[in-house]
């Protein structure tokens, strides 16, 4: 057996985007169930901690001035102000450590964040867009899920439109019609990326197989 | 629901190569079980029909002169003479029909055939190399499977070496250590290729979603 061959490739940052309400969280949860070795990148945010949320698990909750300090000192891989209110950002160090160690990280961000990640990390990132099967289905999911004002829903729909307009910059699109199928498609993307010549250490494998062939004849 | 969206992408020719004995047939059979919509490309050959083989199912059996005529008139996508003996070739027409209709075809050929397919079909083809977990395992599988002379086995091992030397030209590598894992990896590759922006009709999806957004607000 060739030692440590499986997973000996490069680390991968899987970026998942898609309109609010499309079910990104559910699909990512399904992926994590199938691949327990995956890690989720924890964003930091200036928005208030909600009941049931744990600092450092769902988000790292920081003050406006802490956020500003992180941003200025280049500690954020990407950041955004959402609906002109709170700030959200991805700490750079944990991502770089994970990639250097060959691990796989999942990061849920919007298209502007995805663009910024691609610019900085190139093909160490894999960009996946989760699309709704139709607009009415997206509207229905949004209304079901959120006990929000009509204005908040309108804001989310406007953002959704913008996300959809920018789907062309992604590497893959997964349509979340039925969750199990979407999870299978996202799992397939991870699997394929791990086996791709760009990431898999095929040179190491080839060298070892040929050395063994010389030895065994 | 967006009509005919899933699978509305381009056809794909999945080319599977790998050393004799690595278990290509078993892994492909596992893939076909998971994806009943896949088709297998039937090669034509000048070698004699073996007991239990059906003409047009395993191979299309042709005479030397028929083969030569097909080759000369450009009816073959790729062809090869194996071990300096019999000819094998892939008829071009069924492949082109399947691709034009958006279907997925699987084709098992050697690295020279894979090279020729890539040159002619570009990224309509996906090249997958099935590698053994180690050289001794490959030797063992070859000896177990074939009731062949030592000379025939030596020939197969020489070809295996050549296949391994050329694995760098493939898009993906799958290590067939345990069959179910290899089948899952190959399935993931197919899944991912279908969701890739290169193949998935994301422009059609985007257009339809945005039109619905305009209509529904």
Summarised one tens digit per residue, pLDDT across range B109-146 is 999 999 999 999 999 999 999 999 999 999 999 888 65
CA angle A54, A57, A59 (to 5 degrees): 85
Say yes or no for a CB contact (<8 Å) between B172 and A193.
no
Using 50, 70 and 90 to split pLDDT, how confident is the model at A133? very high
Distance from CA of B97 to the nearest CA of A (A): 26
Distance CA(B107)–CA(B125), nearest Å, equals 10
Contacts of B213 in chain A (CB under 8 A): 135, 157, 160-161, 164
Q: Which of the pair, A3 or B197, is modelled with greater confidence?
A: B197
Please indicate whether, in this complex, the C-beta atoms of B191 and A189 are within 8 angstroms of each other.
yes
B113: closest CA among B67, B163, B174? B163
Question: From the list B185, B195, B209, which residue is nearest A164 (CB)?
Answer: B209
In a mutagenesis test of the A interface, which of B195, B201, B216 is the best target, namely the one with the most A β-carbons within 10 Å?
B195
pLDDT at A208: 97
Which of A44, A30, A35 minimizes the C-alpha distance to A7?
A35
B168·A192 Cβ contact <8 A? no
How sure is the predictor about A32, in pLDDT bands with cuts at 50, 70 and 90?
very high
Q: What is the pTM of this model?
A: 0.90
List per-residue pLDDT tens for chain B, 217 residues long: 343 344 456 799 999 999 999 999 999 999 999 999 999 999 999 999 988 888 988 899 999 999 999 999 999 999 998 877 899 999 999 999 999 999 999 999 999 999 999 999 999 999 999 999 999 999 999 888 656 788 888 888 999 999 999 999 999 999 999 999 999 999 999 999 999 999 999 999 999 999 999 998 7
Residues of A in contact with B210 (CB under 8 A): 161, 164-165
- Set of chain A residues whose Cβ sits within 8 Å of the Cβ of B189: 188, 191-192, 195
CA distances in angstroms from A26 to A31, A38, A56, B6, B49, listed in the order given? 9, 15, 20, 20, 53
Answer yes or no: do A185 and B191 touch at CB < 8 A: yes
Question: Which of A5-9, A55-59, A83-87 is least confident?
Answer: A5-9
Residue of A nearest to B213 (CA): A135
pLDDT for B5 equals 41
pLDDT of the residue at A4: 39
pLDDT-based confidence at residue A10 (cuts at 50, 70, 90): confident
The residue in chain A having the minimum alpha-carbon distance to the alpha carbon of residue B188 is A188
Among the partner-chain residues B136, B164, B191, the one whose CB lies closest to the CB of A188 is: B191
Give the span between the Cα atoms of A132 and B57, in whole angstroms: 41
* A151 or B76, which is more confident: B76
Burial class (CB in 10 A: 0-12, 13-18, 19+), B63: exposed
State both tokens at A105: 């990280």
Instruction: Answer yes or no: are the C-beta atoms of B190 and B31 closer than 8 Å.
Output: yes
Considering only CB atoms, B216 lies closest to which of A2, A136, A194, namely A136
Q: Which residues of B touch A132 (CB under 8 A)?
A: 209
Out of A133, A196, A209, the one facing B135 most closely (by C-beta) is: A209
Judging contacts by C-beta atoms under 8 Å, the chain B residues touching residue A165 are 206, 210
Confidence of residue A7 (pLDDT cuts 50, 70, 90): very low
Contact A209 B134 (CB under 8 A): yes
Confidence of residue A9 (pLDDT cuts 50, 70, 90): low
Residues 6+ apart with CB under 8 A from A150: none
Residue A91 clears pLDDT 60, i.e. is over it: yes
Burial B160-180 (b: 16+ CB within 10 A, else e): bbebbebbeebbbbbbbbeee
pLDDT score for B146: 58
Work out the percent of chain A whose per-residue pLDDT is above 70.
94
């Amino acid at each position: 057996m060739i030692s440590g061959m499986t997973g000996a490739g490069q680390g991968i940052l899987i970026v998942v985007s898609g309109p609010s309400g499309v079910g990104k969280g559910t699909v990512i949860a399904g992926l994590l169930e199938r691949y327990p070795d995956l890690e989720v990148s924890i964003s930091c945010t200036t928005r208030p901690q909600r009941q049931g949320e744990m600092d450092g698990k769902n988000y790292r909750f920081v003050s406006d001035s802490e956020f500003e300090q992180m941003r200025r000192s280049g500690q954020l891989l990407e950041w955004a102000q959402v609906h002109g209110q709170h700030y959200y950002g991805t700490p750079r160090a944990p991502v770089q450590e994970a990639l250097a160690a060959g691990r796989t990280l999942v990061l849920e961000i919007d298209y502007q964040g995805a663009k910024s990640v691609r610019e900085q990390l190139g093909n160490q990132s894999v960009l996946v867009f989760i699309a709704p099967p139709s607009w009415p289905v997206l509207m229905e999911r949004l209304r079901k899920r959120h006990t929000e004002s009509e204005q908040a829903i309108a804001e989310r729909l406007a953002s959704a439109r913008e996300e959809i307009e920018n789907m062309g910059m992604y590497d893959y699109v997964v349509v979340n019609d039925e969750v199990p199928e979407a999870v299978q498609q996202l799992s397939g993307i991870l699997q394929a990326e791990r086996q791709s010549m760009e990431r898999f250490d095929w040179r190491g494998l080839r060298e070892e197989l040929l050395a063994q062939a010389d030895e065994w004849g």
